[in-house]
Structure 1
Amino acid sequence: MIQKTALRTLKYILKRDEASVKILSEISHKSGHRFSVEDTGGTVLWGNPEGMKHACPLKFEEITLGKFYYSEEGALLLSDTLLLLFQKEWEKKNIGKEVLGLYREINMIYGLSEMISEKIDAESIAQVALQEASQIIEMTHGLFLMYEAEQDRVISIAQFGQNPRRQDFIDSQNNMLKELIKKGTSSIVPAERIASNPALQHLKTVMYAPLKVKHRTLGMVLLGHQDSIEYTAAELKLLTTIALQSATAIESAHLYQKGLKEVQEREEAIRKIHDISQKFVPSEFIKSLGKAKITEVFLGDQVEREVTVVFVDIRDFTSISENLSPTDNFLFVNSFNNRMGPIIRKNGGFIMQYLGDGFMALFTEGSQGALNASVEMQAALREYNNERALKNRQPVKVGVGMQSGKLILGITGDRERLDAAIISDTVNTAARIEGLSKHYGTTILLTQECLDNMLAPEEFDFRYLGKVQLKGKKKPIKLYECINGDEQELQDHKLSNLKNFDRAMDLFFKKEFAMAAVSFQEIFKKNTSDQPAKLFLNRSAHLITQEIEDNWKGVETMTFK
């Protein structure tokens, strides 16, 4: 197979690759040296060997490509050039094979995970695994074997292909199969070992892989073919991957069937999260890369986009969750995400990452949709809290921070582990803006960049909260509070006092702190839930007694991240 591929590559370089032909022709012409190339089958691929005084083997590593004919010693430079061109083309083909192998592995893992996630018993998982293996690995027979420790024996829970003596094989080879399972390694069985084992007389090619989970082996998957074919290392790797995924699913199924409630609940939650992380990458992310489906993405795919990043945080998450069991805690988070996720998607965004006590969402069509979603989430949260109140449960509060800017979306990792990733300072800034929403006491906090990125900012009501100098940043950032996400009473208060608040802020930045304090106090007295008014009241009162530098601009410096 390698020999045939090498000859095809040599023929391609000398006959069809215009760049290579041009290089060889120019060197031959300028040096005045003629040469001829003949493959191992005697076919002349270049020139005419007649009249050539010398000939030498044309070899690449251990592969014989043919003969190189030449008239003068200096023509050997052309032989070296030809081998260099061959090497580059050979390496390019090998890289192509590796990429194809990676694609097959990702496609298989994704499809198998999707199917076995629906199964809750070992037999169904095993049958699906064998069926999937038969689609990507050439085989006529297959066995899914499990080791029963209590009875110290190996049993078959799924089969592929017809073999009337299957049980006789398992019974007669039980000790050998137990040893292989305990060893926990994958292997392609040498042909001589197959031929010397009467129990394998119906097969000529065999390989196997362990069903490993954590630090133990549950069994093994054995595949075979009745003809003498050649299993490759790549196919053994695929079988190993199938076995590992099947083992994980079977382990979860065993825990479920044993009825170990506490262990099952933890494993089920982990399994669900694991399954989702394997099967789910936001389709919007894939589309942003210019792909139609996840199986089309490759390591290194990337694109730069202008986006709005939104961070959503459940306030006091620890106090809410500390009295819940792991299962109830998971159900709470899931219930929250189920309410908020559709709102994000409805307004043109997608959730890039769940963070346990919140999530990060991206909006690729401007910040108008991001702010719409933020306001709607606060409204949905109030309805959710009404339901929780009927059940005597603690109300949930959510803070939102957002920033607009450029970022890189791409596929990172290595050949065996891919992940959807975003790289940008915009993400870091958005996360810190969300953190500042706690400091300022706002439900929705955004930057000047977000306002500039909106098509119709007049649809919302804002209060300017001044500039902030984030730790590690060179330029201060202008912050705005969107009051449309507040509860109705607080929203009405802020709207009716909007001009007074803006005037108070103007006095504050003009260093007229006493008058600013009076104004902020008047606003705060009308509604003591107005936390930004309280914050600037305290700042003004503090600055009255301070000596202010002439270049003071009112920029709030944050010493924490």
Structure 2
Amino acid sequence: MAKISIKAILRKEDTLRLWLDNWCTHNKTEICISDPSGKVVYGNPDLLHNSLSIPLITGDAIVARVWSKSNVLNQVWDVLNMLITKESEKRKLGAEVLHLYQELNIIYGFAESLGEAISTHAIAEITLAHSTNSIPADAGIITLWDEQDKTLGVPAVSGDDLFDSELMAKNTAFLLQIGHTGQSGIITDIEEIKKLGLVASKVTSLIYATLKGKDRILGAIVLAGTQLDQFTAAHLKLLVTLALQSSSAIESALLFEKNLTEIKMREEAMQRINEVIKKFVPNEFISSLGKENITDVRLGDQVEKIVTVLFTDIRDFTTLSEQMSPEENFRFVSSFNEILGPIIRQHNGFINQYLGDSIMAIFPNRPEDAVLASVEMQRAVRTLNWQRAEQGLPIINAGIGMHTGPLIMGITGDEHRLDAATISDTVNTASRIESLTKYYQSPLLLSGDTVKSIPDTSNLTFRRLGKVLLKGKNNVLSVVECMNGLQENISFRRRENLGDFDMAMELYQQRQFENAITLFNKVLKSDPEDNTVKVFLKNAKRYLTEGAPKNWNGAEEMLYK
């Protein structure tokens, strides 16, 4: 993972420099920010090395230093540290997702290669080739036990000359030590194995996985390394997965001519692998491409459809996560996803991505499916909060946003690495609408395009929140709030006040701020908890006092993404 650059963060966070300038002005002081090499990326270079400095650290590396003679320097450090932590978490998540897809690609490619092999020698060579290509080993060997002849064979060897194949074939004790235990693992104490002459003296560690048949041990995959700590638990996990697939292929090959049922077992094993992969690439995605199975897709397959894209996100997740250990964090996010995932699928949608504390879902049929799913999701979160309250845990707030428009779903990448991709501005717009739930203090927002695409809205209650100009966009976007998922008493008050609210919004957009303020106050008097009204009331008062922005057409301009 590339190092985090303070210079890049300053460039990426558009308002950060303005905030730093305002902070220095407010505190009547100067600061200097330097990168790890000492190069100044912000502020007065004269402060370098002759004033107080605080390092910004992520992992075990210093990302930057903040210099100042002020004793309130920690305020700047806190903001920068928050941004650096956010960037680090984003990169870590991206690296984890990339690693997962790479591992799935290895497994899928391996399964496809095995499907073309029949003999045990061919299977062993394919298995060893994939193992040594995927795991950083200096040499590898596969041992197979011949049950009929009671002999140990070595059908495949690769890499440096670190194994003595002849001695290994004669020394069944090695297979008994590694293979016949039925276990898999990493060995760093290999002095006894060296004494037997089975491996070269410069070998420092071995990693092995047992090849298990239906009711017996077939052999083992053994890889050798010449460096300390060359193999990790992740390498072992991958090797065990490859061994599992290879074992099925070997056993089928051994018994192919004697028992046709073994061929069926092998096909079933392949089917299980495909089913696992479908959990990472939704079957609905494959169906949208006109394919029945993931094995049918090819590079360049694509389809354009009008869909509704939904994003949901846990509010203030960073604050919540700080109170939990990494394991508790993982369990919390997993349990949250386990609640919302089935609701999305029950309403004819599918999850395109789990993004840590947020979900991206696609509803390919009707936009009302997405709305009804969102309503049910709000109720599910409310039920979860009742349970959390009984346990003394903080409640969860989630924002949901959606947009309807064209989207291309397809298979991108190259001949060795495929990925399921969605390409469309519809995705970006849906994500932006979800982020607006924080600004408008509303749990569920839709674009006007989504509302227009719903033929019958008689069972849904909407409040039109006017238009916004999203950062980086040229066209304004209508934003609509759906109130069906609110608690019954809250939803009732919002419906009762809908006429006054709509009239207030009309006056607000016509710059009749004084009259709009009167109606907004009337709504708040009836419903003091209506935070969305408070947003418009605050804006109306500001515009009444300071005047509306030049060329203001009623659209709120968002200065952040």
**TM-score, with structure 1 as normaliser:** 0.58
Measure the CA separation in 2 of the matches of 1:539 and 1:309.
30
Q: Please state if 1:165 is matched with 2:145.
A: no
Partner deviation per Cα, 1:473-529 (whole Å, 9 max, x = no partner): 111011111011222232122111010101111111221111211211221233332
Measure the CA separation in 1 of the matches of 2:490 and 2:501.
14
Compute the displacement of 1:310 (Å).
0.3
Letter in 2 for 1:514: E
Compute the displacement of 1:198 (Å).
11
Partner deviation per Cα, 1:115-164 (whole Å, 9 max, x = no partner): xxxxxxxxxxxxxxxxx987532424577999xxxxxx999775467554
Measure the CA separation in 1 of the matches of 2:163 and 2:185.
10
Measure the CA separation in 2 of the matches of 1:361 and 1:154.
43
Are the aligned partners of 1:181 and 1:217 in contact in 2 as well (CA < 8 Å)? no
Counterpart of 1:218 in structure 2 is 207
Counterpart of 2:420 in structure 1 is 420
Are the aligned partners of 1:181 and 1:219 in contact in 2 as well (CA < 8 Å)? no
Cα distance change on mapping 1:508 and 1:178 into 2, 3 Å: closer
Compute the displacement of 1:553 (Å).
1.8
Counterpart of 2:343 in structure 1 is 343
Cα distance change on mapping 1:135 and 1:519 into 2, 3 Å: closer
Letter in 2 for 1:447: S
Compute the displacement of 1:459 (Å).
1.4
Compute the displacement of 1:352 (Å).
0.3
Cα distance change on mapping 1:504 and 1:327 into 2, 3 Å: same
Residues 175-214 of structure 1: pairs in structure 2 closer than 5 A: 180=161
Cα distance change on mapping 1:476 and 1:198 into 2, 3 Å: closer
Measure the CA separation in 1 of the matches of 2:162 and 2:237.
16
Measure the CA separation in 1 of the matches of 2:370 and 2:553.
30
Compute the displacement of 1:108 (Å).
8.9
Cα distance change on mapping 1:159 and 1:469 into 2, 3 Å: farther
Counterpart of 1:328 in structure 2 is 328
Partner SS state of residue 546, structure 2: coil
Letter in 2 for 1:368: E
Counterpart of 1:382 in structure 2 is 382
Partner SS state of residue 475, structure 2: coil
Cα distance change on mapping 1:293 and 1:429 into 2, 3 Å: same
Partner SS state of residue 484, structure 2: helix
Letter in 2 for 1:427: V
Q: How many pairs were matched up?
A: 366
Residues 309-458 of structure 1: pairs in structure 2 closer than 5 A: 309-458=309-458
Are the aligned partners of 1:181 and 1:218 in contact in 2 as well (CA < 8 Å)? no
Q: 1:249 aligns with which of 238, 248, 253?
A: 238
Partner SS state of residue 458, structure 1: coil
Cα distance change on mapping 1:251 and 1:492 into 2, 3 Å: same
RMSD over aligned CA atoms reads 4.2
Are the aligned partners of 1:520 and 1:537 in contact in 2 as well (CA < 8 Å)? yes
Mark the runs of 5 or more structure 1 residues left unpaired by the alignment: 1-104, 114-131, 147-152, 184-193, 202-210, 223-243, 255-274
Measure the CA separation in 2 of the matches of 1:154 and 1:544.
77
Counterpart of 2:523 in structure 1 is 523
Measure the CA separation in 1 of the matches of 2:301 and 2:451.
31
Partner SS state of residue 207, structure 2: strand
Compute the displacement of 1:318 (Å).
1.3
Compute the displacement of 1:348 (Å).
1.0
Measure the CA separation in 2 of the matches of 1:539 and 1:278.
48
Partner SS state of residue 136, structure 1: coil
Higher CA-based Rg: 1
Counterpart of 1:109 in structure 2 is 107
Letter in 2 for 1:515: N
Counterpart of 1:137 in structure 2 is 117
Measure the CA separation in 2 of the matches of 1:291 and 1:154.
38
Identity of aligned residues (%): 41
Counterpart of 1:26 in structure 2 is none
Are the aligned partners of 2:309 and 2:403 in contact in 1 as well (CA < 8 Å)? yes
Are the aligned partners of 2:291 and 2:297 in contact in 1 as well (CA < 8 Å)? yes
Are the aligned partners of 2:141 and 2:158 in contact in 1 as well (CA < 8 Å)? no
Measure the CA separation in 1 of the matches of 2:489 and 2:536.
21
Partner SS state of residue 137, structure 1: coil
Counterpart of 1:126 in structure 2 is none
Compute the displacement of 1:373 (Å).
0.3
Partner SS state of residue 459, structure 1: coil
Partner SS state of residue 458, structure 2: helix
Letter in 1 for 2:457: P
Q: Please state if 1:560 is matched with 2:560.
A: yes
Partner SS state of residue 361, structure 1: strand
Letter in 2 for 1:218: I
